[in-house]
Amino acid sequence: MYNYQKSNRYFAHVADDIKDITADELETLGATGIKEAYKGVYFNASQKVLYKINLHSALISRS
């Protein structure tokens, strides 16, 4: 198991100019511990919330 799976701490890669609205979107989808960083946003999420974010986020890069 990877460290991020143990800690439920993830990184969403997004453009610098939309980090603030991405943080808002993550919060709306159920993420916690949201912190903007270089080229993205760190956040905490349960597996259920992570799947919800992956399915519904319109801003996060999935590449």
Distance between first and last Cα of the chain: 22
pLDDT of 57 above 90: yes
The confidence score (pLDDT) of residue 25 equals 98
Helices (H), the chain: 3-7, 19-28, 47-56
Domains in the chain: boundaries = 3-56
- Tell me the whole-structure pTM to 2 decimals: 0.90
Distance between CA 11 and CA 42 in Å, rounded?
Answer: 4
Distance between CA 23 and CA 17 in Å, rounded?
Answer: 12
Could you read off the pLDDT of 2-49 as tens digits, one per residue? Answer: 887 889 999 999 999 999 999 999 999 999 999 999 999 999 999 999
Of the candidates 35, 20, 27, the one whose C-alpha atom is nearest the C-alpha of residue 53 is 27
